[in-house]
Each structure stands twice: as structure tokens, then as C-alpha cells.
Amino acid sequence: MEMVKVVGLFILGLVLICVGGDKLVDAAVAIARKLGIPQIVVGATIVSLGTTLPEVLVSTTAAIQGSVAITAGNSIGSIICNTTLIAGLAQLIRPTKDVNVKPLKWRAAFFFVTMIIVNVVSFVLGGLYMIPGILLCLAFVVYALLNIKFPGDEEDDEEKPEGSILIPIIMLVISAVALYFGAQFLVDNGVIIAEALGVPERVIAVTFIALGTSLPELMTSIVSLIKGYGSVGIGNILGANILDLLLVLGIPAAIRGYEVSSQTFMIDMPLGFGVMALLFVPIIIKKRAYRWQGALLLLIYAGYCAMTFMM
């Protein structure tokens, strides 16, 4: 009976994250449109910040509670899940075309450089501790300032919505509260389920929890496809992955340093780098994505999950 309760709370956590993330995205987009921010920048900044909050909350909560395997595994697992499963599915269904690549270039470079640095530091130190954590948080400040200085090349040509900006701000706060409690339920009960099944925390972190906390990105990509705003989905994936590195790894490290498993910096991080290159290099060169990228990314995700459970 106790396990039924645990599973129920775990599912409730996923639902709260899913609904809260969806409403938070709606509120963030409404605020951005009132301010006249370009689509692709909306995806890479405000929307990605909203959809990454679950990962930030899950990893911070896990680090405080001492579940160190979840901290790094959730971040890198989310990057892999965002890129292979979510972006892969989106590009397989409807490849993004006519991408405005200029605002993507420096953000992609920022991601790849940060990923290399994090991988090297994790390998040398065996983990991420207070000083690297603080530096990652400072890098987030730099990233935010760069987004202000280089927002985009064009303004959003959509008509600005009428009404007060206060309503979407209130919705933003309510959604953030839902995400907070969803993250709590997900971490607490995810660890219990992992222990009951004899599954290592890292496996749970890079698969189930990473998938659960990536649901907002999945919903954003699907909604973007339905509405014909593929650039929002692409921008959201890139921005979310950057924030996964800076905040999801940085905040817990600054609060309470943690070890990083050898599988994470030997397998997960290089794979995250590779799938991001597979997704964004063709987009930056050709200004569009292809259906074969989506199919290949989905195959990589399936293989990764299978390998993770067999290790």
C-alpha cells in the first residue's frame, strides 16, 4: 500500500511539472510578445528558462538531500533527452525550415564551449564543487547579459496582445509554485522507487527523471509545430540545454558540491555534445533541419536508454 502511495505521488509530480510547465510557457510567451521580443529569442531565453525550472528544482533538491547521482544525471540526461527524443521527434514529424541562424550561432558556441569546460573540470576534480558551481552561476549572468545585448535580428511581427501584463505575471508565479511541488514529489519518490527496484540512482536520473523534467520542452516543441513556429521549439531546446549546464549543474554545486560518476563524464557528457552537434551543425550551415536528423536522434536515444539499463 505504501508503494502505491509512492508511485501515485511520483505520477502527481510529473503531472504538476507537465501542467505547470505548460502554463508557465504560455505566460512567458505572452509577456515576451507584449515586449515585442523575436520568436527565436523567446524560445532561447524566456521559454527555455521556464521549461528548465523543473530540472533546476529537481537537481537543487536532490543535492540538498544528498542524492548526488541525480544532480548531474538529471542535467546531462535532460540535455540528451531534449536533443534526441524531443528535438528528434519534432524534426521527424516536421523539419524546421527557414531558420534565422544568426542568433543561434553564438548561443550554440556558448553551449559547446561550456560543455567542454564542464566535462574537463568534472574529469579532473571528479565532481563539481563550490568554486566551479559559482563560476557556472556567473556564466549564467554573462549569458543573460549577452541575450540582452544581442537579442535577435528582427522584431516579432505578430500583433501585440491587448490587456494587462499583470495576468501572465501572476500565472507565471502560480506555475512556478506547481513546478516546485512537482519537483519535490518527483525527487523524493523517484529515489524510493529506484531503491525498491534495485536500480541505481544514475539510471533513474538519466532516464525517468530526465524525461519527466523534460516534459515542458516536449509540450513546447509539439505546440510550436502545431502552430507553425518551429523556430520557437529549436530555440527552446538550445536555450534549455544551456541552462541545464549553467543552472542545473551550477546551483547545486555552489550550494553543496557533489561527485560526478565516471559514466557521466565519460559517456553522458560526450554523448550530449555529440547529439547537439548532430542537431545544430546542419541547421546553422543549411538554415534548416532534416527528417533524417530526427530519425537518427531517436535511434540514438533508444540505444542510449537500452545501454543505460544494461550497465
Give the DSSP letter string of 223-272.
HHHHHT-HHHHHHHHHHHHHHIIIIITHHHHHHS-EE--HHIIIIIHHHH
Closest CA to 165 of 50, 47, 38, 31: 31
| pTM score | 0.77
Query: Once rounded to an integer, what is the mean pLDDT over residues 206-228?
Result: 68
What mean pLDDT is predicted for residues 77-83? 88
Question: Is pLDDT of 68 > 80?
Answer: no
pLDDT at position 220 is: 67
Residue with cell 510578445: 33
Lowest-confidence region among 24-38, 153-167, 183-197: 153-167
Mean pLDDT value across residues 284-305: 93
Whether 253 has a pLDDT exceeding 70, the answer reads yes
User: Has residue 6 got a pLDDT over 60?
Assistant: yes
Region 174-201: mean pLDDT is 78
pLDDT bin (cut points 50, 70, 90) of residue 134 is very high
What's the mean pLDDT when you consider all of the chain? 81
At 128, is the secondary structure helix, strand, or coil? strand
Give the pLDDT of residue 80. Answer: 92
Question: What's residue 55's pLDDT?
Answer: 73
pLDDT at 67: 67
CB 261 within 8 A of CB 74: no
Range scoring the smallest mean pLDDT among 251-255, 272-276, 288-292: 251-255
The letter for the amino acid at 56 is V
pLDDT tens digits for range 223-245: 666 666 666 678 778 888 998 89
Q: Report all structural domains of the chain as residue ranges with CATH numbers, in order of start.
A: 39-150+200-310 (1.20.1420.30)
Provide the pLDDT for residue 290: 93
Q: How confident is the model at residue 102 (pLDDT cuts 50, 70, 90)?
A: confident
3-class secondary-structure state, position 97? coil
Q: Is the pLDDT of residue 73 over 90?
A: no
pLDDT in tens, 7-46: 899 889 888 877 876 777 677 777 777 777 665 666 666 6
Q: So what's the pLDDT on residue 113?
A: 96
* pLDDT value of position 190: 77
Q: Phi first, then psi: what are they for 185, rounded to 5°?
A: -60, -40
pLDDT at 206: 67
pLDDT surpassing 70 at residue 96: yes
pLDDT at residue number 201: 66
- Say how many CA atoms lie within 13 Å of 192 toward its Cβ: 15
Instruction: State the burial class of residue 19 (Cβ atoms within 10 Å of its Cβ: 0-12, 13-18, 19+).
Output: middle
Residue 95: how many CA atoms within 13 Å on its side-chain side? 17
Answer whether residue 54 shows pLDDT above 80. Answer: no
Least confident of 39-53, 96-110, 237-251: 39-53
